[in-house]
A and B are shown apart, each in its own frame.
Chain A
């Protein structure tokens, strides 16, 4: 189980996440929605272990292993993969070389032997079909000259090649046209199984038409203020986040 408990994170001494808690069981798909500035990207960067995202309090654990002090590469080695909102490009680093390096590094961390080159090629050829890439993409530099949609599909390709056991996807659906959106959703569904779980952070309900989320969380001002099923999304579409602020005020 992936578990975040009472997480508090500050950036430059400003508290962004405030007692955030979340639990995701194997096979589940959770969606986190929230207005701009609510702390969504801080959450993904903290889970990934980026510098300067200091955990003041609380814990992030996966399969009972504490992730708080692990390096980014160790976290993905433990099975926790994070896809970022703005994947950066790596000029001069060949995509296929990069993927192989990533897969082998993770295997090494997990005490497994290097991947067989023939099998790796076979697998990559199969997976690029899942993200509707033609073979030219895997021989290009990572994300170099890729359109926004191509970058997002490349993230899904990495997800399918690395095969972690939980994926945190930060706005992997934003800036996509309808075809690319369907491709990304297809990739996510291909990845998901009874063992693998997903946390999807999104602004739009559009992609949810193609997925089957188990839980919807609303993140506001650094903590989760409401959790529900897919019907929560429809209420949000109707009334916006203000509805929750009002509710909160009334509760107070």
Chain B
């Protein structure tokens, strides 16, 4: 039962508590303000505002304050409520999966200690479709200071192909806490393109855990777009558990005002002949603060690994800040790993060149920043999604 799962996770959390800055992974994350807030769990699952985007060819799913709205008619996909599934004891594997991940990250534990429901999606063998799954996760309540614990478990069976958009939105006028967990299991030969869009309130605390487990010959591409944030923490863990598995991730984060965007990535090359590629680009303005921590882990005997991690940032104001630390932990030979990080201001010579051709300084900046993000934006295969994101980007 969910209550039991909640309780055992709570016991674990009580033992370890919130992480402090002494913890290497939380060095740049100041949780004081968050801990001083008194959040209440939401019990409201209807909303009056309208959110999200319209896609012409999509299977639409909605979560309101962590509660999934289940529509019976969802093609041949298995889309269920996690609570229904667990309480009916029909899926032991899922319960096992949830319990297994207990300890990994304090906020992941907190989600497990508090969640009441979520989406379980199973994509059957050989599934292929032009349609995107569009999962809209909304944080909105009549009251301020509400917590929600949305959860998604996505299993791709062998050779299944899927494109999914996970859109995290919230009431821009409210201060809320959203602790979101998504766990993906990608079986042999499966292919997934996963787009995460974050448009949070500036007053929000958004903690996000994404775990990706991949079997042999699977290909997972994650695209993270942090378009609007308050206090944002994103933890991504990739486990490459089968030969020829490939994990790639593109990220774009835009910081404005007092926003804080804290990216933490771990890629575990658990077996030999696995590849990974991570590229994140950040633009930071005003008093915003960004973090890019990434670690590629290559244990002993994981031979013939290809890995690349990059982080490039442009800082637009004297008061914005970025900490970038791409790291490698390699315990064997015969691997090809590269990493790099750059941070700078906009190229003055390039700005002057554009101005000398009649383009005013504001537009010149936009052109240069657009070209900086081009590599990330061009990865979006859905034109409607691409237009939506481009429309939301402003500097």
The answer to the question of A145 belonging to the interface, with a C-beta cut-off of 8 Å to chain B, is: no
> Which residue of A88, A92, A105, A141 contacts B363 across the interface (Cβ within 8 Å)?
A105
> Contact between B363 and A51 (Cβ–Cβ < 8 Å)?
no
> Contact between B356 and A82 (Cβ–Cβ < 8 Å)?
yes
The answer to the question of B46 belonging to the interface, with a C-beta cut-off of 8 Å to chain A, is: no
**Interface residue tally for chain A (C-beta within 8 Å):** 28
The answer to the question of B368 belonging to the interface, with a C-beta cut-off of 8 Å to chain A, is: yes
> Which residue of A49, A87, A105, A141 contacts B359 across the interface (Cβ within 8 Å)?
A105
> Contact between B357 and A98 (Cβ–Cβ < 8 Å)?
yes
Chain A nearest CB from B31 CB (Å) reads 37
The answer to the question of B18 belonging to the interface, with a C-beta cut-off of 8 Å to chain A, is: no
> Contact between B371 and A73 (Cβ–Cβ < 8 Å)?
no
The answer to the question of B360 belonging to the interface, with a C-beta cut-off of 8 Å to chain A, is: yes
> Contact between B367 and A71 (Cβ–Cβ < 8 Å)?
no
A92 partner residues in chain B, CB cutoff 8 A: 370-372, 374-375
B361 partner residues in chain A, CB cutoff 8 A: 71, 73
Chain B nearest CB from A38 CB (Å) reads 22
> Contact between B348 and A51 (Cβ–Cβ < 8 Å)?
yes
The answer to the question of A229 belonging to the interface, with a C-beta cut-off of 8 Å to chain B, is: no
The answer to the question of B391 belonging to the interface, with a C-beta cut-off of 8 Å to chain A, is: no
> Which residue of A48, A82, A88, A101 contacts B367 across the interface (Cβ within 8 Å)?
A101
Chain A nearest CB from B371 CB (Å) reads 3
> Contact between A102 and B359 (Cβ–Cβ < 8 Å)?
yes
A105 partner residues in chain B, CB cutoff 8 A: 357-360, 363
> Contact between A90 and B355 (Cβ–Cβ < 8 Å)?
no
Chain B nearest CB from A196 CB (Å) reads 17
Chain A nearest CB from B366 CB (Å) reads 10
**Interface residue tally for chain B (C-beta within 8 Å):** 21
Point out which of A87, A98, A106, A162 has the most chain B C-beta atoms below 10 A from its C-beta: A98
The answer to the question of B353 belonging to the interface, with a C-beta cut-off of 8 Å to chain A, is: yes
Flag B335-355 by CB within 8 Å of A: 1 or 0 each: 000000000000011101111
A35 to B5, CA, bound (A): 82
> Contact between A91 and B371 (Cβ–Cβ < 8 Å)?
yes
B354 partner residues in chain A, CB cutoff 8 A: 90, 98
- Give chain B interface residues in 174-230, CB to chain A under 8 Å: none
B375 partner residues in chain A, CB cutoff 8 A: 92
A98 to B364, CA, bound (A): 10
A106 to B349, CA, bound (A): 20
Chain A nearest CB from B313 CB (Å) reads 16
Main SS class of interface, B: helix
Flag A147-169 by CB within 8 Å of B: 1 or 0 each: 00000000000100010000000
Flag A36-71 by CB within 8 Å of B: 1 or 0 each: 000000000000111100000000000000000001
> Which residue of A49, A51, A162 contacts B357 across the interface (Cβ within 8 Å)?
A162
The answer to the question of A243 belonging to the interface, with a C-beta cut-off of 8 Å to chain B, is: no
A84 partner residues in chain B, CB cutoff 8 A: 353, 356
> Contact between A102 and B357 (Cβ–Cβ < 8 Å)?
yes
A91 to B363, CA, bound (A): 16
A48 partner residues in chain B, CB cutoff 8 A: 352, 356
Given contacts A91-B371, A92-B372, A92-B374, contact A73 B358 (CB under 8 A): yes
The answer to the question of A72 belonging to the interface, with a C-beta cut-off of 8 Å to chain B, is: yes
A51 to B358, CA, bound (A): 16
Flag B375-390 by CB within 8 Å of A: 1 or 0 each: 1000000000000000
The answer to the question of A220 belonging to the interface, with a C-beta cut-off of 8 Å to chain B, is: no
> Contact between B358 and A88 (Cβ–Cβ < 8 Å)?
no
A194 to B272, CA, bound (A): 72
A77 partner residues in chain B, CB cutoff 8 A: 358
Flag A83-116 by CB within 8 Å of B: 1 or 0 each: 0100110111100001001110110010000000
A84 to B358, CA, bound (A): 15
> Contact between A76 and B353 (Cβ–Cβ < 8 Å)?
no
A90 partner residues in chain B, CB cutoff 8 A: 350, 353-354, 367-368, 371
- Give chain A interface residues in 98-144, CB to chain B under 8 Å: 98, 101-103, 105-106, 109, 141
Chain A nearest CB from B46 CB (Å) reads 45
Given contacts A51-B348, A51-B352, A90-B350, contact A162 B371 (CB under 8 A): no
> Contact between B372 and A76 (Cβ–Cβ < 8 Å)?
no
Chain A nearest CB from B185 CB (Å) reads 36
Given contacts A71-B360, A90-B367, A91-B371, 16 further A-B contacts (CB under 8 A): A48-B356, A49-B356, A73-B357, A73-B360, A77-B358, A90-B350, A90-B354, A92-B371, A92-B375, A93-B367, A93-B368, A98-B357, A105-B358, A105-B360, A105-B363, A162-B357
Q: Chain B residues in contact with chain A, CB under 8 A?
A: 348-350, 352-361, 363, 367-368, 370-372, 374-375
Top 9 A-B pairs, shortest CB-CB distance: A92-B371, A106-B358, A72-B355, A102-B357, A105-B358, A92-B374, A76-B358, A73-B355, A72-B356
